[in-house]
Structure formats: structure tokens, C-alpha cells
Amino acid sequence: MSQQPFSRPGAIDLSGLRRPATPPAGSSGAGAPGSSGGAAGAYSVEVSEANFQSVLESSMTGPVVLVFHSPGQSPESTTYARDVAAVTGEYDGRFLAGLVDIDASPQIAQAMQIPQVPLMLVIIDGRPASQPIPGALGADELRTLFNQLAQQLTAQGITGRHQPLPATGAEGDEDAEPEADPRYAAAQDALGEGNIDLAVEEYQKLVDANPADVEAAAGLAMAKVLQRTQGVDLNTAREAAASAPDDVDAQTLVADLDMLGGHVDDAFNRLVDLVRRTSGAERDKARTHLLGLFAAVGNEDSRVIRGRQNLASALF
């Protein structure tokens, strides 16, 4: 699967959705998944013309993954929408899945110019953050995609999380205050305020308290990347690395910059090559730095698995 950097094209035109339209006869207006299999969960919501605007506004907090499906035209697309909701729930609020039944809410499909179902669209700050993703992906492919999105967003300093939605769908619960997960709040608030040093300290506390907290370790590793690259000029750093190919500090700095730019394989390959060329303390320094970048991406990522294999080859 190719990895695309995020962009922010024009905002979505919602002029046709300012007044909720009456759903077609025979439809619930709330979307089929929840009524026929319970797709709605702590981090997924059935999108209608009535709540579409509020769902988009929630993308100011964290990414919203819209999945367009049609029970009438393509039952398989509705199954896929449930699958996306299930996988999204594994990320503890990093993403919110919005399931859009285009049979029940045709105006949304028209406003978004949806050419087919199923189709997935990532929304950040109320705007599409990538090209639409057509077709159905398998669960493993979805996890790979969401891992990539999470890594790129963290590198860009976008670390917000959605609050878990109420467990029940009763109308009287919609004003209830969901309980926030406080584990990462201090570190994420620090990142949001641009206080990278404090974010590192807060993530370090989490890791010290629970070394098995993989997400805290990943957050710490990426926060350290942000810390090391503060105020660095990319061109100057690349020129320094090109003129001193065995300088560990110069090479690791460019690897960090590659990570921030989404060029994960380039960062890994640069440091693997450096490990291969160096020895002693310099080699150990390069290897340790590379292990930190592995932690930032996640051990289950295919690029990390490949990078570890290449590192083992370079060492032995």
C-alpha cells in the first residue's frame, strides 16, 4: 500500500446540508449498520443528514474516517463499514469512524460527490486529508493504513483523541458526558501547546510507570524526534550529512527529518547503512537511534519488520 503525505485541499461544501432533509421513505435516517448488526461503538457513529455537520466538526479534535455504504445497492459495502468501525475501535479514540448510509442520506453522497460504494475518506479539521480510498480493504490492510495515518499525524503534531461515545444509543443519553481517558492527556496537551520538552517528560513518566505501554513508548519516541529537530533547517542538515557520511550525529538528524516527512523507509535505510559502515561506540549509537525510530513506528509495522531484518544483516 502506498503512503501518501497528508494535504489539506478545500473545505467540504456543506451548503446543501444546512437544513436536514427528510430521509427517503422506508429508511431510518440513521444508517443501517447499527440497526442490523450494531456497528456503532465507543468510537464509531452512524451519520445522518442531521448530525453530519457535528461529525465533521469533531474532526477538529481528531481524524474522522467516513465510510460510505449502501445496504440496498451493495450489502457487502455495509459489512465493510462495520469492519472499519471495529478496527477503528482498536485505536482508543485516535480515529472516529463515521458510517454513512447513502440510501438513507442521499444528500450527503451528493455533497461529497461519492462515485461508488464502499468508499472511505479521512477528514481532518473539517477537510479531506487524503484521496478517497475506494473498495473494501481487509482487516490487516485497514490496520496498516491506520498505523500509517497515526504515524504521519503524530509527526505533524496532530495528536488529539476522540472521547468515547455513550454505550447506549438512547436519545436521552446524547448529552451525557463521556469519561475521558486521562493516560495521554498531559503529553498531548503539551504537544498541542508546542511544548515538546514537556511532552517528552510526560511520555517518559508513562513509560517509566508502565514499560509495557506500547503507545506511550511510541509517543515518547516520536516526541523525541520532534525535540531533536526543533529549529533545524532541512537543507543545511542534508548538506552536512552528505559531506560527512560517517558522522553519526549528522546522519541520525537527517533520519529524524525523514521520519517527520513520512519517509520512514529512507530513515531506516540510512541508519542501517550507517550501522554497516561504523563500529564500536559509533555503531552502537547509530543502532540505538534506529531502535528508537522502530519504537516510534511500531513493532508490527511491515517497515519495522523489514528494518529489523536489515539491521540484523548489517550487524552480523
CB–CB of 130/145 below 8 Å? no
pTM of the entire structure?
Answer: 0.47
pLDDT confidence of residue 101: 94
Q: Is 247 exposed, middle or buried (0-12, 13-18, 19+ CB in 10 A)?
A: middle
Residues 175 and 186: their CA atoms lie apart, in Å, by: 25
Per-residue pLDDT tens digits for 7-28: 333 334 333 333 333 332 333 3
Look at residue 154 in the predicted model and tell me its pLDDT.
Answer: 74
- In 22-138, where does DSSP find H-type helix? 32-36, 52-57, 75-88, 106-112
Q: How many CB atoms lie within 10 A of CB 151?
A: 21
Q: Grid coordinates 513506528 are at which residue? A: 297
d(CA 183, CA 43): 17
The mean predicted confidence, pLDDT, of the chain is: 80
Instruction: Encode pLDDT of 58-84 as tens digits.
Output: 888 889 999 999 999 999 999 999 999
Structural domains in the chain, CATH included, are 15-173 (3.40.30.10), 185-315 (1.25.40)
pLDDT at 209 over 70: yes
Grid cell for residue 230: 526543533
Confidence of residue 268 (pLDDT cuts 50, 70, 90): very high
Distance CA 48, CA 77 (A): 17
**What does the pLDDT average to over 32-54?**
68
Instruction: Report H helices in the chain.
Output: 32-36, 52-57, 75-88, 106-112, 139-155, 185-192, 196-209, 214-228, 234-243, 248-260, 264-277, 280-297, 302-315
Instruction: Give the count of beta carbons closer than 10 Å to the beta carbon of residue 90.
Output: 13
Give residues with Cβ within 8 angstroms of 145, minimum separation 6.
1, 133, 137
The closest alpha carbon to 253, from 96, 295, 242, 127, belongs to 242
pLDDT digit string (tens) for 141-170? 898 888 888 877 777 777 778 888 765 443
Q: How far is it between the farthest Cα atoms of the chain?
A: 74
Confidence of residue 289 (pLDDT cuts 50, 70, 90): very high
* 46 DSSP β-pair partners: 99
Q: Phi and psi of 121, rounded to 5°? A: -140, 130
Please name which of 236, 269, 265 lies closest in space to residue 250, comparing C-alpha atoms: 236
pLDDT above 90 (res 295)? no
Residues shown for the chain: 316
